[in-house]
Structure 1
Amino acid sequence: MNRHLPASLSALAFSLALSVAASAAEPVSLKGDVQVERTVTANGTTKTVLAPPTTVVPGDRLLFTTRYSNDGDKPVDSFVVTNPLPAPVRLAAEEAGYEVSVDGGRTFGRLAALTVADAAGVRRAAQLEDVTHIRWTLAHLAPRASGALEYHAVVR
């Protein structure tokens, strides 16, 4: 199936920015962004480039980025950033640095430690396609400190 998803992905990026910003506590500001990872070959060299998600199809790989900044004059400790994973995508791979949820954001942990119930109610090991949220805990943000958090996803 070759579906194009430009409108839904634009809405997805907008909702990501809103949902991420809604979880922010002053004085930390957050901004979400999504880009498509394209493989380009030129002069015998292959590289990955990032492009705006004007059109995506199932199988396209996306990079979601949340930029953060402590705009205040005091440090912020144990700041939590939670990103809901948009329904049209699945997590590409679990990476170090964040925890995942497979139950709508109620509980978090490493994917290998989580389980989900199948249609018959039987518990099974959670898979990448079961992930609903990603969460980072930033231990310490100095005044005026900034950075970015990223995860990769694949269009379903």
Structure 2
Amino acid sequence: MKLKIVMSACAMALAAATMTSGLLAGQVHAQTRNDAAAPVTLRSDVKIERTEQNADGTEKTALYTPNDVSVVPGDNVVFTLLVNNKGAEPAVGFTATNPMPTAVRFASVGEDWAEVSVDGGRSYGKLANLKVKTKDATGTAEVERAALPEDVTHIRWVFADAIVPGTERTVSYRGVVK
């Protein structure tokens, strides 16, 4: 069974702040092999990451909610999914899939076991192992090339271990506003 999870208030604020660019198009999808026994919920959080200078001239990294800053091209965005098992049974075989917002270029994923898709979510793997088909320089022949971060359309986490009842797990990915 697939669950559609509505974005958090923070994500909605980012969507409102960047409505014209469509920064947060899409929804998070999740599924488990035992949905009935283990109701798992997802919450998403979005932060804008900025590097700033302290009064002494040293740099610091600060995270802001989208309501607190004007989101502009080149901004680093940190997307976090909080996975919570509110059931009485372990959630086995849990998978969370997040479409890449169209106004954001994929940068990285926080977990080395996460996978990405470059074909609209039809297949997944490590970015370094994926290929995309494109036209050659003449525009007449189809060629295959190594996938690039800007080709990523989805991020997926397949949890190898059960999510224990009453626990929350966190996964994340980063992007750059186009």
Normalised TM-score (structure 2): 0.75
- In our comparison, the structure showing a higher alpha carbon Rg is 2
1:29: which partner in 2? 41
- C-alpha deviations, 1:23-82, integer Å up to 9, x for none? 356400001121100112112331111101242111110000111100001001120000
Q: Contact between 1:82 and 1:133, CA under 8 Å: does it hold in 2? A: yes
Q: Contact between 2:49 and 2:78, CA under 8 Å: does it hold in 1? A: yes
- 1:144 offset after TM fit, Å? 0.6
Q: Which moves more between the two structures, 143-152 or 92-101?
A: 92-101
The one-letter amino acid of 2:172's match is E
2:124: which partner in 1? 108
The percent identity for this pair of structures is: 45
Q: Does 1:148 align with 2:170?
A: yes
Larger helix percent: 1
Aligned pair count?
Answer: 148
CA 1:59 to 1:12, structure 2 compared with 1: closer, same or farther past 3 Å? closer
The one-letter amino acid of 2:43's match is K
CA 1:136 to 1:108, structure 2 compared with 1: closer, same or farther past 3 Å? same
Partners in 1 of 2:175 and 2:17 — Cα distance?
A: 16
Q: Structure 1: 5+ residue runs without aligned partners?
A: none
Partners in 2 of 1:100 and 1:69 — Cα distance?
A: 22
- 1:7 offset after TM fit, Å? 3.1
Q: Contact between 1:24 and 1:30, CA under 8 Å: does it hold in 2? A: no
Q: Structure 2: 5+ residue runs without aligned partners?
A: 1-15, 136-140
Partners in 2 of 1:115 and 1:65 — Cα distance?
A: 27
Q: Contact between 1:62 and 1:155, CA under 8 Å: does it hold in 2? A: yes
CA 1:45 to 1:67, structure 2 compared with 1: closer, same or farther past 3 Å? same
- 1:11 offset after TM fit, Å? 6.1
Provide the secondary structure at the position in 2 that maps to 1:112: helix
Normalised TM-score (structure 1): 0.85
